[in-house]
Structure 1
Amino acid sequence: MKMNVLRTTLIAFIVSCFFASAQEKTVLFTVNEVPVYTNEFKRVYNKNLDLVKDDSQKDIDNYLDLFVKYKLKIAEAKTLGLDKKPSYLREFGNYKDQLAKNYLNDNKVTDQLVEEAYNRLQTEVDANHILVKLEENASPRDSLLAFQEIQKLRIRAINEGFDVVKKDIHNGRTLFAEELGYFTAFKMVYSFENAAYNTPVGEWSAPFRTQFGYHVVLVKDKRKNRGDVTVAHIMLLDKEDSEDNQSRINEIYKRIKQGEDFGALAKQFSEDKSSSSTGGQLNTFSAGQLSSKTFEDQAFALEQAKDVSKPFKSEFGYHIVKLIEKHGIKSFSELAPELKNKIKRDSRSKVINDKRLEGLYNKYNVSKTTPDLTPIVSILNDTYFSSSWKIPADFKGETQLFKIGNTVFSQHDFAEFLLKSQRKRQAKVALEKLVADNYILFVESSLKIYQEENLENENEDYAQILMEYRDGLLLFDLMETEIWNAAKQDSIGLQQYFALHQDNYFYDVRVDAIVASSAKKSSIKKVAKMLSSNVSPDTIKAQLNSESKINVSFIEDILDANHQALPKDLKLETGVSDIFTHNDAYSVVSFKSVIPKTSKSFKEAKGHVIADFQEEKEKEWMSGLAKKYKVVINQEALNQVKEQLK
């Protein structure tokens, strides 16, 4: 999954830098006589103005050089036949299907659903539910029995109470009675969400069906959404080989309670490298956004700005959290794009799909009236329900059922649809009903397929993006084949490259040190004196700290010279340093030893070696492509482009 995300991201980046459709017929340059037009280059340039630092001719020339190299790579990819590879065609097809979904639906319906979702996000619902489980394709008889059962259970819950019914019926297989807690929009399937939000507090909903079966919902409470929160934290990682971090986090907490600055302590001790330099402050988040529910609960439990939590343990380590600010729900304009994406993945999509089909019936003038399907019924038999039915050899089925555009769909086309749709162990129904139900599916499927196949001609924006991805994917495959994988697999070449450039790969200076810090200069003076006498940190803490007050804290480890606890101008030499102020505290360092700059082995440097080797290999490869393909620049057209881009 991660590789797929990375692949898509790289493709999108490549495309955003280089592609645009060619409509203007002024040729800017040719690659082996294949023209590239000025309009394409101008669109690419204007789309990426952040890559151009000024309006000078040099900038445009440099950008043109990048663009020519891009076109050389595309030419090479096609020469190698990468655009004919089954894997390329398959992945492009998958992307095309995904992209089409963004252009096939009624935007008005989507906008209505976005507005509804936003309104519901203002409120959290606390609910219990009872479920009678039922398969989606259950028979009418089984569906009726399940509906009757949920009606009975609803009446019992109203009269006897939820807890009584839960204790009596919940088995976790066919019958469920569960307390759901608070939730908001998108946390449940859409039909369930509708029932919860439309039922008053204290009441049971009417029975309703989801893909899981029949439900009833008791709405216990509705409250205002907690919104977003901004906090800072101090974190000590939970590592087996670390010192007692639980004890350390308690020490830090005592120093906070003593009045020391939270941000200063975060800078000194927090092991969350992404936030320690900013005093521990994290990006604003909402409920459910973080991967740690424990951390979220602690953050939202803080009431007033500057409130600090007690130390607690999450899945990642030990924390202390300080509330900076609580925020309400974002504005509609801020949230709308995110909500729209969620709706496309949510069960709300059925509403969108139904509206799309209604539009397609009208757009292509296809009647919803069912034609005479007796000839189809007559060729079916019970073998259909065991997935062994075949279309009779003498069935011609030439009669037209409906028409989309210039495409005619006949009885035989419908028979082929039925042939592909049959599946083993499907529930038996009357053949007339089976044919009638499947005819609707056949028409709707045909409408969708026809629209998708013609979308490139009907929607210019879709056509452009599709072409962007087509070339971007091709370029990705080329680079992967010619450079990235080739470099990784060339073990001899990598070793030789490392041998020639070994001086570039090293560990910088490190120190084996004890760093002491305190809010009081008098305390750190005592520490410095004791460190000079080789007194251990544990002994110093025992003398200077107490259960009620922490005067000094220590870091004892092998540290990089640029470690957050060490100022940049600190002289690194064995012995005890002078007292200095850093990160809003007084500190002193006892350097046990200074580990000089050390060369890395090939194994230690391999990641960097591969990256550098790939870069050198690509330069050589591009030099070869420049010789292989003849590029002719139309200087007059280039001059015009420069004037226009100014």
Structure 2
Amino acid sequence: MTLRHVTLLAAVLLFSKVQSQSNSKDVLFTIDDEPVYASEFIRVYNKNLDLVQDESQKNIDEYLTLFTNYKLKLKEAESLGLQNKTSYKRELDSYKKQLAQNFVTDTTITESLVKEAYDRILNEVKVSHILVRLPENASPQDTLVAYNNIMKLRDRAIKEGFDKVRKEVHNGQTIFGEDLGYFSAFRMVYPFESAAYNAKVGEISMPFRTRFGYHILKVYEKRKSRGEVTVAHIMVANKQGDSISNAAETRINDIYKKLQQGEDFEALAKQFSEDPSSANKGGMLSPFSAGQLSSQVFEEAAFGLKNIGDISKPVQSKFGWHIIKLYDKKPVQPFLDMKPELEMKVKRDDRSHLIDDALFDKLKLKYHITDKQPVLDYFESILNDDYFKRTWKLPNNFEKKQPLVTIGEKQLTFQDFGDYLVDSQRTGQAKSSFKDLISKLYHDFLFQNLMQYQEDHLEFENKDFANIVNEYRDGLLLFDLMDSTIWNASKTDTTEIENYYKAHKDAYVWPDRIDAVVASSTDQDVLKSVAKLLQKGTDLDTIKAKFNTNGKVQVIFTMSVMDAQNQALPPHFKFKKGISKIYKHNDSYVIVQVKDIFPSTLKSFDEAKGAIISDYQTYKENKWIDDLRHKYNVSINQQVLDKVRSELNNKN
């Protein structure tokens, strides 16, 4: 599913349609005499009661306001004709086609493949292979040659050793001999994965074919998967223009030395980590498994920690430098937790061919299509070698009106299959017998038409499918309307945004800030000496050189323009120029040298632009809703509303 699909589904989440016991004939309100039923409102409210975070939205009257606003927006979208846009129709058709897969797929085979994938994820296999390249559409003669070659290589590998033969025969063009290392499910094409997991350790497999050609493989080891780890980290980001005393690598090494001196990891993370999402939690990260993070270096370092409490040496990723501490290790997630993700992967993988085969059989049964193919001799008779050159055409005397096969209420004719044959011509297609070619193409043609017929009628055959399509249809209209009316304001309403800023300047201010140096140490006496040197104007590099000697780090400096909430400052720190007293902070001691104080000031337009645009969009949307309420007549049925309140209050 695309990001756009996710956005649209989120947009309609509060207004999805599910079944309810309410009277479907009770009209809760009308918009220009168009009814909105109480049953729909009750369904929506009950479904989303536990999802809304704003307590005001749980109030029935407040929720009714949200729901009415939603319906007003849809009314406006339809009045503007957004449902007639080509892009809207194309997007909706694409979604319906994608969604239909979930309703027509054979669930039995899918569930079997999902369980198999999970069983394989529990283990990793270490494999090498030899491949004799062969095109998917290779001729029978070339296929036989390739098979004989791979069999000869297998005989050699048994006698001489797999690795020896693999290295000798690899040429990177027609034959590949590769050490693939460890892998798990979904890392290789499905036939290869199956061969690897079905093979015994130490044995050389029989030849098997994938879309790349013929393989043999050897499994060297099978081991349990690494599962999931929970770690914390201290991060120092790489920054341009750092001074020597504040360079990322120097800084992370200083922090690492303090850890070696016995200082607390969590306290150091709170003081010095530059990952804002984890620093105040002592560097703690959410649990993750292999491949889940965007940094392989970080993952390998994390999984490389063996014992709870182990701390890594500094490691560098694309984000900066890290010190990592291991808190927990867990095996692969339970099957039910992983099932939704596995289902998606199975449907995108080579395994989908097995699902397609099962679906083909299911649809043939549903629409009473027998396994007996219609007489295809006629199509074999009109084919010639021009087909393989992409120049073949239907003959002038083509019997286009002859019936071919009936799907439901749809009659397919010779013309339909003939057009399919013309369109299926491909340059460079390997020659095969016309009988085999026609048989394969008819299979594909029939499957395609069965799928299309099912999709075209699914909205009438399946209520759940129809409801979801309706949700998406409304969400798509709402997305386009909001995008053009509100969300695009930063590009089209430049003058209005600037005027909004001028009228609301007091809402955009910088807090009081200081230009400061914060010195941190676990030794209070060290900080007393540091304070005296700072008072004399001694530069930081000299101070560091004095106290951080013989591989021991006694003081770390943080330099920045800070507000009162900065993690380096002690709580309730009073802004005053000069050298502060010593504070106990984050299980350490700190002093603060305040070089300058910047009183609270208004932010310029550029400094506050992001917040201004967001606030302006909210302001514009509220005004727009007021305009819609004047444009369309909303009439609430108070008697039905009282009944709805009573029903909902009794349930909740």
Q: Same fold (TM over 0.5)?
A: yes
TM superposition shift of 1:54: 11
The C-alpha deviation readout for 1:370-421, integer Å capped at 9, x for no partner, is: 2212222333333322323333344233333322222222222211221222
Aligned partner (choices 385, 388, 391) of residue 385 of structure 1: 388
TM superposition shift of 1:52: 6.6
Match in the other structure for 1:503: 506
Mapped pair 1:201 → 2:201:
yes
TM superposition shift of 1:509: 2.6
Number of residue equivalences: 643
Q: Where do residues 104-503 of structure 1 align in structure 2 (5 Å cutoff)?
A: 104-242=104-242, 243-503=246-506
Mapped pair 1:47 → 2:47:
yes
245-254 vs 483-492, which moves further? 483-492
In 2, distance between residues paired with 1:424 and 1:195? 32
Match in the other structure for 2:31: 31
In 2, distance between residues paired with 1:512 and 1:171? 63
In 2, distance between residues paired with 1:54 and 1:72? 22
Aligned partner (choices 506, 515, 534) of residue 531 of structure 1: 534
Match in the other structure for 2:88: 88
Aligned partner (choices 6, 10, 14) of residue 13 of structure 1: 10
Residue aligned with 1:138, SS: coil
Structure 1 pair 514/50, CA: closer, same or farther in 2 (3 Å)? Answer: same
TM superposition shift of 1:326: 1.2
Residue aligned with 2:356, SS: helix
Match in the other structure for 1:517: 520
Structure 1 pair 87/311, CA: closer, same or farther in 2 (3 Å)? Answer: same
Tell me the amino acid that sits aligned with residue 644 of structure 2: V
In 1, distance between residues paired with 2:453 and 2:424? 19
CA contact (8 A) 1:74 1:474 kept: yes
In 2, distance between residues paired with 1:620 and 1:420? 54
In 1, distance between residues paired with 2:130 and 2:466? 48
The C-alpha deviation readout for 1:413-454, integer Å capped at 9, x for no partner, is: 211221222233322333333222211111121211111222
In 2, distance between residues paired with 1:561 and 1:461? 54
CA contact (8 A) 1:487 1:613 kept: no
CA contact (8 A) 1:52 1:59 kept: no
Residue aligned with 1:50, SS: coil
TM superposition shift of 1:602: 2.3
Residue aligned with 2:126, SS: strand
CA contact (8 A) 1:57 1:642 kept: no
TM superposition shift of 1:160: 2.4
Tell me the amino acid that sits aligned with residue 328 of structure 1: P
Structure 1 pair 51/297, CA: closer, same or farther in 2 (3 Å)? Answer: closer
33-42 vs 382-391, which moves further? 382-391
In 2, distance between residues paired with 1:55 and 1:643? 19
Residue aligned with 2:326, SS: strand
Match in the other structure for 2:61: 61
The C-alpha deviation readout for 1:499-553, integer Å capped at 9, x for no partner, is: 2223322333322111111112222222222222222222222222223321111
The C-alpha deviation readout for 1:565-624, integer Å capped at 9, x for no partner, is: 112300112111111111111111111112222333323322222222222221221111
Match in the other structure for 1:99: 99
Structure 1 pair 489/257, CA: closer, same or farther in 2 (3 Å)? Answer: same
In 2, distance between residues paired with 1:469 and 1:513? 53
In 1, distance between residues paired with 2:568 and 2:635? 58
The C-alpha deviation readout for 1:148-189, integer Å capped at 9, x for no partner, is: 222222222232234433432223233211111111112111
TM superposition shift of 1:489: 1.4
Tell me the amino acid that sits aligned with residue 190 of structure 1: Y
148-157 vs 265-274, which moves further? 148-157
460-469 vs 490-499, which moves further? 490-499
In 1, distance between residues paired with 2:343 and 2:376? 40
Percent of residue pairs identical? 51
The C-alpha deviation readout for 1:91-113, integer Å capped at 9, x for no partner, is: 11111121112112111212111
TM superposition shift of 1:58: 8.9
Which structure 2 residue ranges, 5 or more long, are not aligned?
Answer: none
Match in the other structure for 2:544: 541
Tell me the amino acid that sits aligned with residue 446 of structure 1: N
In 2, distance between residues paired with 1:55 and 1:615? 19
TM superposition shift of 1:56: 10
529-538 vs 213-222, which moves further? 529-538
The C-alpha deviation readout for 1:481-504, integer Å capped at 9, x for no partner, is: 112224521222222222222332
In 2, distance between residues paired with 1:102 and 1:214? 33
Tell me the amino acid that sits aligned with residue 576 of structure 2: E
CA contact (8 A) 2:515 2:561 kept: yes
TM superposition shift of 1:53: 8.3
Match in the other structure for 2:558: 555
Structure 1 pair 560/346, CA: closer, same or farther in 2 (3 Å)? Answer: farther
Which structure 1 residue ranges, 5 or more long, are not aligned?
Answer: none
The C-alpha deviation readout for 1:327-358, integer Å capped at 9, x for no partner, is: 11222222222222221222211111111112
In 2, distance between residues paired with 1:295 and 1:435? 54
CA contact (8 A) 1:17 1:44 kept: yes
TM-score of the superposition, structure 1-length normalised?
Answer: 0.95
In 1, distance between residues paired with 2:93 and 2:479? 16
In 1, distance between residues paired with 2:563 and 2:215? 60
Structure 1 pair 561/52, CA: closer, same or farther in 2 (3 Å)? Answer: closer
Residue aligned with 1:604, SS: coil
TM superposition shift of 1:57: 12
In 1, distance between residues paired with 2:148 and 2:374? 36
424-433 vs 216-225, which moves further? 424-433
TM-score of the superposition, structure 2-length normalised?
Answer: 0.94
